[in-house]
Amino acid sequence: MNKKSLILTSLFGIALSACTGGSSPARTADQLVRPLADDVVILEYTGGKITAKDINARVDAQVKQFSEELIDAYKKNAEQMLVMQLMEAEAKKQGVANPQELMARVAQDVTVTDEQVAKFIVDNNLKDGIQDPRTGEKRKVSDEEVKGFLMEQEMQNKQQAFFGELRQKANVTMKLEKPRAKVISSGKEPFKGGASAKVVIHEFSDFQCPFCSRGNEVVKQIVTEYGDKIKLVFRHMPLSFHPEAEPSAIASMCAFKEGKFWEMHDKMFEFQKDLSTESYKKWAGEIGLNQEAFDKCFDNKETQAAVKADMDAAEAMGVNSTPTFFVNGKKIAGALPFGQFKAMIDEELANAK
């Protein structure tokens, strides 16, 4: 890895990668990955053939995923090149030999006090030592070791902040964006916020997914911050390797029938480790549902079909992980920080005026 790559890794935690284009370059993001033309023959057999038209619907989700991954690769590489160019320009402006020397100068005044070291040891329960990942045995942690770790962290923080200032001064605007997805919705799903809000957020989630539980904390911030300015729609995507994901989704829809979806939703995320049929029935009583109606609903195939409709929509839209959000059709995969949602929502609200 060269010196420039080391700077990038320090700033972003990623190494350089490369993208190459084909002989007919795409002009817009929605053209990056396209399905084969309908008349392309995939295979032939005695008595027939299979064309791209026959299977395009099956591969559509994969095409969407490949396109998103390629767009991300272009954006990451553009950000990495931006780092090099801004750092080289700033080094020249300050009369410094190279970006490496500039970054060393930025981090040279870092200090860590004995009080900070002591607090870190207490806050992270390090008094009794740590388990060494190489040997599996417990070992003591010295004050010098902790101080070195904190110094390194502080240096990286200063370098990150320094580059953030350079980026802000450069008025950077990311022009390449993923195309908006056409959100498949019945319009009858549970939601919070304004029914006619200009910004609609669809959240595809799984009650047994730990990342969804983390994402729910961000969702609370969004609802608190924006109120009726947004419409947040909850959608189900129970993952097959979570045994209680689908039953919990069905139970929540039974609560929805009695106008108590969000009460059950909150119970499930609060007590995620306790998901079970017994718990759903207990919680139904606690939030004031009709127990007999809930029990019948829980075994009703129509309720299962409502959950399945969300799962089908998720697949068609290329959702392959939870939580996944669509902000006016713009996809956000993962429990990302509130700030990233806020930036996108604010932009959508500004454009809606």
Ordered structural domains, the chain, with CATH: 1-179 (no CATH), 191-352 (3.40.30.10)
Give the three-class secondary structure for 119.
helix
- Is there a contact between 116 and 150 (Cβ–Cβ < 8 Å)? yes
Phi, psi (rounded to 5 degrees) for 170: -80, -5
What is the structure's pLDDT at 112? 92
- Is there a contact between 316 and 302 (Cβ–Cβ < 8 Å)? no
Contacts 24+ apart (CB under 8 A), 193-198: 193/223, 193/226, 193/227, 193/228, 193/229, 193/230, 193/231, 193/232, 194/227, 194/228, 194/229, 194/230, 194/231, 195/231, 196/231, 197/228, 197/229, 197/230, 197/231, 198/229, 198/348, 198/349, 198/352
Compute the residue count for the chain: 353
Tokens of 342: 């806020």
d(CA 151, CA 230): 42
Phi, psi (rounded to 5 degrees) for 333: -100, 125
Phi, psi (rounded to 5 degrees) for 40: -75, 125
Q: What pTM does this model have?
A: 0.66
Each residue's pLDDT, cut to its tens digit, for the chain (353 residues) gives: 444 444 444 444 433 333 333 446 777 777 788 889 999 999 999 999 999 999 988 888 788 788 888 988 998 999 999 999 999 999 999 999 999 999 999 988 888 999 999 999 998 888 888 877 788 788 888 999 999 999 999 999 999 899 989 998 999 888 888 788 889 999 999 999 999 999 999 999 999 999 999 999 999 999 999 999 999 999 999 999 999 999 999 999 999 999 999 999 999 999 999 999 999 999 999 999 999 999 999 999 889 999 999 999 998 888 989 999 999 999 998 999 998 899 899 989 998 87
What is the structure's pLDDT at 174? 84
Give the three-class secondary structure for 46.
coil
What is the structure's pLDDT at 9? 44
Q: In this structure, how many other beta carbons lie within 10 angstroms of the beta carbon of residue 267?
A: 25
- Is there a contact between 49 and 41 (Cβ–Cβ < 8 Å)? yes
For residue 11, what is the DSSP state?
H
Of 241, 262, 258, 238, the residue nearest 250 (C-alpha): 238
What is the structure's pLDDT at 24? 64
What is the structure's pLDDT at 27? 74
> What's the gap between Cα 51 and its chain centre?
35
